[in-house]
Structure 1
Amino acid sequence: MNESRILACIDGSAASEAVCDYAAWASLRLAAPLALLHVLEPVAGSAPADLSGSIGLGSRELLLNELAELDERRARLLREQGKLMLDAACERVRADGVAEPLLRQRHGRLVDTLQELESEVRLLVMGRQGEACSSAASQVGSQLESVIRTLHRPVLVTTGTYRAPQRVLVAFDNSPSVRKGLDVLLQSPLLRGLSIHLLMVGADTADSREAIEAARRQLHEAGFDTSAAIRAGEVEDVLLDYRREQQMDLIVMGAYGHSRIRRFLVGSTTTAMLQRTDCPLLLLR
């Protein structure tokens, strides 16, 4: 891949259909090419026990040969299974309107593979939970936090079934990362034409009102249909309650911080939202 793409992680789980649909949506909104990635990962502890000390030399050689043949056969079947997953995903995104998706199959750890491809990724799309179809298939769900902490690209985390976003909730805390994220959204066609709700969680002070109103004006002047609100309470509870009340289709928020203190504070909120959200999350870095 030699150009900025939408990259969708396909693992063959029930989450893969929504991943395909949201990735196609993002690809069409951004007019960016789409790549579908399936990673075959090594499985820790999958090697058979070494029994060679308790059997004869000839039997040992026969056993090792048989194990090598089994490993080769298993690897071939997993490659073929991965190809079938990618072919099915390709058909789905084509049906969604993406004409020429690129198919990629890699061997290794998912996080390492994504780090290698990071410079070519504009937006990463992953499912919140993965149910691997085989012991060596990519366990996307179990590695989601590690991927989000490691990569420095926006990540769209899908949940449930696809629903074309129309109403977007932006978790606004007036931090530099969120203000930078707003600047990126202003310049991006991804959310253009959608209704944007800014929500700040905390005390309704003069400073808070001034900050969120400035952000609302910025979006409004850029042509967005925007509203703003401040609510007190636990961050995750407030965000999720508001999402349900206002029927939001997508939540946008900052991801894990880099400093040790910020990683503890922001990271805990990100993790809780990943676990509890019932709609997709767009995590900005």
Structure 2
Amino acid sequence: MTNVIACIDGSQAAAPVSDYAAWSALRLDAPLTLLHVLDHSRYPVNTDFSGNLALDTREHLLNELSELDAKRNRLALQQGKLMLDAAQERAIADGIAAPRLRQRHGDLVDTLADLEDQTRLLVIGKQGEAHEGVGATVGDNVERVIRTLHRPILVAVGEFQTPKTIMLAFDGSDTCRKGVRMLAQSPLFRGLACHLVSVGERQGLEDAARLLDESGHEVHTAVLSGEVEPALHRYQQENAVDLVVMGAYGHSRIREFFVGSTTNKMIREARVPHLLLR
């Protein structure tokens, strides 16, 4: 569990993903791996065209279609390599001495699951290539990744800016209390001002604030009212918070921290990166 892994694709999110991953790797003193996965649903390794052709189709048509498919895959691999090269240059400019490049063919979520034991933090864009330009829609892969992985996931949003303030959405759950301890101990957050914010939940808030204060954080606490997602995002915007930290699952008023519900809404409306804890 050592690497910061950044998911690189052809979307506009690739640049901020690389930047946030580099920032995280430097603060954690962890190796950075830039990963590109060639989706097998779009670029299958082997394609069987025989069922789509009439019985009297000539053999050379099958061969030609297979060759075209192979060429398409080669071009996609080359394009992916160019993406990784660009991300590598960006990471080096950000201060990473030797970012590692990995390229795989398959399913993104399956690939990340295979690499889970090597992952300390995953950085992924809010939207991939397939969802760019579709309003605030969260990419399908992002939802699947959050459901599957049991590692912290940083969802990059917008252009990179060095985080100076963070907000922890506190709900009193075990995951959230674990997040408080992580905030107190992790070098990722060292020196950052922390807003400890709850929506209607007071139990455990003072103890959490005390722990963060003792670890050297400047701590601000707030108990909000209203609906969870708009209340938290309104606070984030009014207080110019750079990074939101929250549990992917919780209880009480945030009981529906399940992708497709509160977590999905938080990410969908996000204007700054969100770090999801499991």
With the length of structure 2 as denominator, give the TM-score of the two structures. 0.90
Aligned equivalent of 1:238: 231
- In structure 2, do the counterparts of structure 1 residues 239 and 71 end up closer, same or farther at CA, with 3 Å as the change threshold? same
Give the structure 2 partner of residue 145 of structure 1. Answer: 143
2:237 is aligned with what amino acid?
A: R
The offset of 1:183, in angstroms, is 1.2
Q: Distance in 1 between matches of 2:275 and 2:115?
A: 19
State the SS of the aligned residue for 1:13. coil
CA distance in 1 between counterparts of 2:52 and 2:107 reads 29
Q: Which residue does 2:220 correspond to in 1? A: 227
Residue 77 of structure 2: SS of its match in structure 1? helix
State the one-letter code of the partner of 2:115: L
Please point out which of 3, 10, 13 is paired with 1:5.
Answer: 3
Q: What's the counterpart of residue 178 of structure 1?
A: 176
**CA distance 1:51–1:128, shift in 2 (3 Å):** closer
Q: Which residue of 1 aligns with 2:135?
A: none
CA contact 2:169–2:198 (8 Å) conserved in 1: yes
* Rg comparison, structure with higher value: 1
Q: What letter corresponds to residue 151 of structure 2 in structure 1?
A: R
1:211 & 1:184 partners in 2: Cα distance?
16
SS of equivalent to 1:39: strand
For each residue in 1:214-252, what CA deviation from the matched residue of structure 2 results, as whole angstroms up to 9, or x when unmatched? Answer: 111111011111111101110001100000110000000
- 1:265 matched residue in structure 2: 256
Deviations 1:132-188 (A, max 9, x none): 59xxxxxx9321011011000000001110010001111001111100111122221
| Aligned residue among 245, 251, 258 for 1:252 | 245
Provide the C-alpha distance between the structure 2 equivalents of 1:220 and 1:243, rounded to a whole number of angstroms.
20
Q: How many residues end up aligned between the 2 structures?
A: 267
State the alpha-carbon separation in 2 of the partners of residues 132 and 105 from structure 1: 19
Q: Secondary structure of the equivalent of 2:187? A: coil
Q: Does 1:281 align with 2:265?
A: no
Specify the code of the residue in structure 2 equivalent to 1:129.
Q
Q: Where does structure 1 lack aligned partners over 5 or more consecutive residues?
A: 134-139
> Take 1:23 and 1:108, find their aligned partners in 2: how far apart are those partners?
23
Contact 1:200 1:229 in 2 (8 A): yes
Structure 2: tracts of 5 or more residues without a match: 132-137
67-76 or 82-91, which deviates more: 67-76
Q: Give the equivalent residue in structure 2 for 1:136.
A: none
Q: Is the 8 A contact 1:12 1:132 kept in 2?
A: no
Structure 1 contact 168–197 (Cα < 8 Å) conserved: yes
Task: Tell me how far 1:45 sits from its aligned partner.
Answer: 10
Equivalence for 2:96: 98
The 5 A counterparts of 1:1-285 are 4-43=2-41, 50-56=51-57, 59=58, 61-131=59-129, 141-202=139-200, 208=202, 211-256=204-249, 265-267=256-258, 268-285=261-278
Q: Distance in 2 between matches of 1:125 and 1:45?
A: 24
| C-alpha RMSD of the superposition | 2.2
Cα deviation for residue 54 of structure 1 reads 4.6
Whether the aligned pair in 2 keeps the contact of 1:149 and 1:256 (CA below 8 Å) is no
